[in-house]
A and B are shown apart, each in its own frame.
Chain A
Amino acid sequence: MAEALKTDALVKRYGRRRVVDGVSLSVREGEIYGFLGPNGSGKTTTIRMVLGLIAPTEGSVELLGRDIADWGPRSREGVGGFVETPTFYPYLSGEMNLRTYADLSGGASRAEVHEAVALVGLEGREGDLVRTYSFGMRQRLGIAAALLPRPRFLILDEPSLGLDPHGMKEIRDVMLRLHREKGLTILFSTHLLAEVQLVCTRVGILQLGKLLYEGPLEGLLKAERTFRVRTDRAERAREVLSAHPAVRAVGVEDGFLTFEADPEAVPVVNRALVEAGVRVYELGPGAKSLEDVFLEMTSHGEKVL
Chain B
Amino acid sequence: MVFRLFRIEVRKIVRRRDLYVSVALVAIFVAAFFYGFARQNWDAWFRGHKGAVYRALEQYSRIVLHRPFNLSEYTNGIYFTGMAVGFSFHLLIPIVASLIGGILVAGEAKDGTLRAVLIRPVSRSQLLLAKFGVAIVYLVLVMAFYVGSCLALGVPTFGWNHILAFNNAFMQVGEGRGAFFVMEPSEAIRRLGLVCALGGYAMLVVASLALFLSTLFDSPIVPIVGAVGLYFISLILGTEAEGFFEEIRKYLFTSHMFFWRNLFAKEIPWGDVGRDLLWCTGYTAGFLLLALVAFRVRDVKS
Spell out A's residues near B (CB within 8 Å): 48, 51-55, 72-77, 79, 81-92, 96, 100-101, 103-106, 145
Contacts and interface: CB of A to CB of B under 8 A. Distances in A.
Tell me if A's interface is mostly helix, strand, loop or mixed. Answer: loop
Given A48-B301, A53-B300, A92-B15, A85 B119 contact: no
Contact of A100 (B12, B118, B124, B299): B12
A43 to B, nearest CB: 14
Interface of B: 4-5, 7-8, 11-12, 15-17, 111-113, 115-124, 297, 299-301
Contacts of B122: 73, 104
Contacts of A105: 120-121
Give the most central of A51, A53, A75: most B CB within 10 Å.
Answer: A53
B121 A77 contact: yes
A96 B300 CA distance: 24
B174 to A, nearest CB: 48
B17 A104 contact: no
A48 B121 contact: no
Given A92-B12, A92-B15, A100-B12, A53 B119 contact: yes
B173 to A, nearest CB: 45
B34 to A, nearest CB: 31
Give the most central of A52, A74, A86: most B CB within 10 Å.
Answer: A52
Contact of A82 (B16, B116, B301): B116
A87 B4 contact: no
B301 A85 contact: no
A88 B12 contact: no
A83 B121 contact: no
28 contacts: A48-B115, A48-B301, A51-B118, A51-B119, A52-B118, A52-B119, A53-B118, A73-B120, A73-B122, A73-B124, A76-B121, A79-B119, A81-B119, A82-B119, A84-B115, A85-B112, A88-B113, A88-B116, A89-B12, A89-B111, A91-B16, A91-B17, A101-B117, A103-B7, A104-B8, A104-B117, A104-B121, A105-B121
Nearest to A51: B119
Nearest to A87: B112
Nearest to A49: B299
Nearest to A55: B299
Contacts of A96: 11
B8 A83 contact: no
Contacts of B4: 103
A83 B119 contact: yes
Contacts of B112: 84-85, 87
B116 A87 contact: yes
Given A53-B299, A54-B301, 10 more contacts: A48-B299, A51-B118, A54-B299, A82-B119, A87-B115, A88-B116, A90-B111, A92-B12, A103-B8, A104-B8
